Structure 1
Amino acid sequence: MESNSQPLATGKAPALHPCYSPEGHKHFARLHLPVAPVCNIQCHYCNRKYHCSNESRPGVVSELLTPEQAVRKALAVGATIPHLAVIGIAGPGDPLANPEPVFATLRELRIQAPDLLLCLSTNGLALPEQVEALVEHGINHVTITINCVDPDIGAQIYPWIRWKHRLRGREAAETLIAQQLLGLDMLVARGVQVKINSVLIPGINDAHLPEVNQVVREKGAIMHNIMPLIARAEHGTHYGLTGQREPTAEELAAVRAACGSSETMMSHCQQCRADAAGMLGADRNAEFSMAKVEAMTIDPQAAMAKREAVRATISRQLATQAAKPERRSHLAPVQRRKSDQGLLRLAVGSVNGQTIDAHFGHLRELLIYQVSANAIHLIERREIARYCHGATTCGDSEAAMDGAIRALSDCAAILCARVGFTPWRALENAGIEPNSEHGEEPIEVALRAVYEEWRANGRLMLAQTRAAAG
């Protein structure tokens, strides 16, 4: 079992983690398991009692899970979403204030799904005493929320912490900061990848965050995610009820810029729920209530094999893309322009990530490829609403069809194993060519055949115009 987990701790691992990789989040999904209800600090921006099914905000969950339920849900999501790469525990309280259910969940996940990265988010108060346990349980990535390194500022953010006994004010902030920084040092020393989250609070820590950035980078954090404060009165938080304003987009950009190197700054964060499932920004948690999960038939070994095949394909394509600029730098500008004129953007319906095996009506995501005379690259995965929900409702979802057409707006064609008459006509009317001639063929073989056909017919320039307009 160690041999299955250990390689994921290499320097290349963040490319699989959508929260650590600007490229990875376009291709890989994550799952948060809500098994940690208790928190050991109080933040003025947090209220875990609030819940709305449509709310995407840290600390929000639909249902708390036992370790057994959490593992069952993880296996169900991993069987349904083959590009799942990461399982994290992020609340709704603090995971390290709930060590028993958290570590019970992690132990079983390493047995049942050893191919998946494991990660955890924490406020850091209990981190130093749990570092060894985290490493032993295969945690490769840890996110620490550090909003300040100045106790006077911290006293304005944290009304209290529970550290042996309850501490308040500056003493509470000073203790929390010391524990956070010690935990960061210990994780880095053990080779764990550490990301820092900070909440930007105008008038409180906005001018101070560049100092936080400098401290955590010097200590070895690989990424710093500065998030805007969410302070709505309806959430019932202290900041929401007292009128603390949220930062503007310009203020957020300015603070991020003041922190220096863009390579270590995260800008694609979606401030996810503690039970989020799927791609960043496209939560599918509603599909995986425990009632639905219990009704699913799951083959963990088959699901793991499918995930590994999908992951290997995406990783190869990412590696090819990463190497492409270096190779192209040796080409003359005229040659590059000539090559660019031959690009064709195509969508693919595939469940296994290897062949054209999906019915259009059953699609939950589109694989978007850029095809040229010399190369084929997967450039994006786009989630869509399922058009067909069974024999009685297939073809009745006009909104799903409209959403799919919008998602395909820059594509010349979509390749599926089957396309029904109604969506076929809708796609054609939108100027998108439906293609079901390559069912069960390997994706790259099918894409190359379509590309050569379009090139022979002189349609590539038209396709490039469409992609630019989309």
Structure 2
Amino acid sequence: MTNNTAVMRQKCGSQSKGNGCGGTHSATDFSMAQAEKVAHHPCYSPSAHHKYARMHLAVAPACNVQCHYCNRKYDCANESRPGVVSELLNVEQALQKAKAVAAAIPQLSVIGIAGPGDPLANQTRTFDTLEGLRSALPDVKLCVSTNGLALPQSVDSLVELGVDHVTITMNAIDAHVSAGIYDWIYFDGVRYRGKEGAQILIDQQIEGMRKLMENGVLVKINSVLIPGVNDLHLAEVSHAIRDMGAFLHNIMPLISKPEHGTYYGLNGQREPTAEEVTQVRERSGAFMPQMAHCQQCRADAVGMLGEDRSQEFNLSALPAQQQDYSAVMQQRTRVQAAIASAGASDDEDARLVAVATQQGQVIDQHFGHAKRFHIYSISGEGVTLVGERHVAQYCQGQTECDDHDDVMADTLNLLADMDAVFCSRLGLGPWQKLEAAGVQPVVDYAWQPIREALTAWWQLQPKDKHDVKLHVRGVA
């Protein structure tokens, strides 16, 4: 056991599930909560990558770490690997492109910032983009990929913006190994090299991961497999990150063709064979679930994993005028409900409902305190999580829920296509406004498990949607 492994276990412990750092996982064990949280994330779920699309926004050009396997290239349409983009975007351009892609690809479930540098080394550009996305596309999941050097001081902002999936590239937990992978790191205004820089990076990654776990953020670890450098070490990485509570380990083969211009590529470091990748994943799989469907995407990738439609959405090709996103979102929800429920949401008796829940297990949140609603489809085939919609918090305290008509109007607009809204409590004013909009408020199942409650409610409903809407409006 290396010193760094011992430090990680001292910080988080090899305890059972439920400890402060997120617990441990067997090599194949995903909890129900974790599985639901990643069900629509093609980069996290092996069953989602052929159903849902992702988008990377290239707004982060600078990097605070120089890896031997990386060479960032801009205005490049001919290479498909991390760090490569055709267009660098400012915040306004990123939002314009995101809305156009969401309208054109209803299966789009996730927008991430992954470069071409490090998102957290570009704090203003990254967080302004994330804030704009959260407001403009309330139904889209947001995620970030980072080397972790600036992660500890960024966690609070990520959580506040609703980012609940973070990928950290961690190639080693031993500074002796790590020193052979990086040329330098730039930390607190100083450039560090060798084992000193490697140790700072590892310490920051550990601290950042610990803070993410405390805030309930799912963490995937990416590691680049470099033959002769960290190939024998990656199982130890898997063992250590399991004890910290990471969700998934993605071991990717080194890309080091000379024409890419990386340090490794120019100095003869070979790429691993497919057999070597399989062997390392098998060894690491004894400790952590392993991701095998990664496509090592460009920093501006668009579409399903395994396809890249980024050239269809260059800035010059975007429509001058964009659709109202409320209508786009409703259409996207219907498409994603059909995908998630294998078509059951198209049944005449199916219902779409919103649930105010803190952790996604029980109906435990006041309507006015919710910052996001989980969207479910209910039919004779069962209860299916469709996605989420983020809203502005209506109540600013335990009692301050008055005089926020603008916030309530926005929330009603976001929930207008729902058949019902479930929450633990609801004031008279919002109740009446929901009913007037044709949305049934439901508080009868407060503090009950979501799936059981939704099933019980659905069984009591008229099986004709027209009758339901008349009933909600008080006509029948």
Q: Matches of residues 152-301 of structure 1 in structure 2 within 5 Å?
A: 152-164=176-188, 165-261=190-286, 264-295=289-320, 297-301=322-326
Query: What is the one-letter code of the residue matched to 2:248?
Result: M
Alignment match of 2:85 (pick from 55, 61, 71): 61
Deviation at 1:310, TM superposition (A): 1.3
Q: Matches of residues 18-417 of structure 1 in structure 2 within 5 Å?
A: 18-49=42-73, 52-164=76-188, 165-261=190-286, 264-295=289-320, 297-317=322-342
Q: Is the 8 A contact 1:76 1:296 kept in 2?
A: no
Partner SS for 1:317: coil
Answer with 234-243 or 297-306: which moved more: 297-306
Q: Is the 8 A contact 1:50 1:236 kept in 2?
A: no
The Cα RMSD (Å) is 2.1
Query: What is the one-letter code of the residue matched to 2:176?
Result: D
Q: Is the 8 A contact 1:50 1:235 kept in 2?
A: no
Runs of 4+ aligned residues of structure 1 deviating over 3 Å after TM superposition are 49-52, 294-297
> Structure 1 residues 64, 10: CA separation in 2 closer, same or farther (over 3 Å shift)?
farther
Q: Deviations over 1:216-240 (max 9, x none)?
A: 1110010000000000111110000
User: Could you tell me the TM-score, scaled by structure 2's length?
Assistant: 0.64
Partner SS for 1:72: helix
CA distance in 1 between partners of 2:80 and 2:326 (Å): 32
Q: Is the 8 A contact 2:238 2:287 kept in 1?
A: no
Q: Deviations over 1:347-367 (max 9, x none)?
A: xxxxxxxxxxxxxxxxxxxxx
CA distance in 1 between partners of 2:187 and 2:103 (Å): 40
Q: Is the 8 A contact 2:338 2:344 kept in 1?
A: no
> Structure 1 residues 297, 287: CA separation in 2 closer, same or farther (over 3 Å shift)?
same
| Structure 2: segments with no counterpart, 5+ residues | 1-31, 346-380, 382-476
> Structure 1 residues 85, 261: CA separation in 2 closer, same or farther (over 3 Å shift)?
farther
Q: Deviations over 1:303-331 (max 9, x none)?
A: 111111111121212999xxxxxxxxxxx
Query: What is the one-letter code of the residue matched to 1:157?
Result: I
> Structure 1 residues 130, 317: CA separation in 2 closer, same or farther (over 3 Å shift)?
same
User: Could you tell me the TM-score, scaled by structure 1's length?
Assistant: 0.65
Deviation at 1:143, TM superposition (A): 0.1
CA distance in 2 between partners of 1:77 and 1:141 (Å): 21
CA distance in 1 between partners of 2:160 and 2:74 (Å): 34
CA distance in 2 between partners of 1:263 and 1:302 (Å): 41
The total of aligned residue pairs comes to 315
Q: Is the 8 A contact 2:242 2:287 kept in 1?
A: no
Q: Is the 8 A contact 1:161 1:168 kept in 2?
A: yes
Partner SS for 2:164: strand
Identity %: 58
Deviation at 1:108, TM superposition (A): 1.1
Deviation at 1:55, TM superposition (A): 1.4
Partner SS for 1:159: strand
Deviation at 1:112, TM superposition (A): 0.8
| Structure 1: segments with no counterpart, 5+ residues | 1-8, 321-374, 376-470
CA distance in 2 between partners of 1:83 and 1:68 (Å): 23
CA distance in 1 between partners of 2:344 and 2:110 (Å): 19
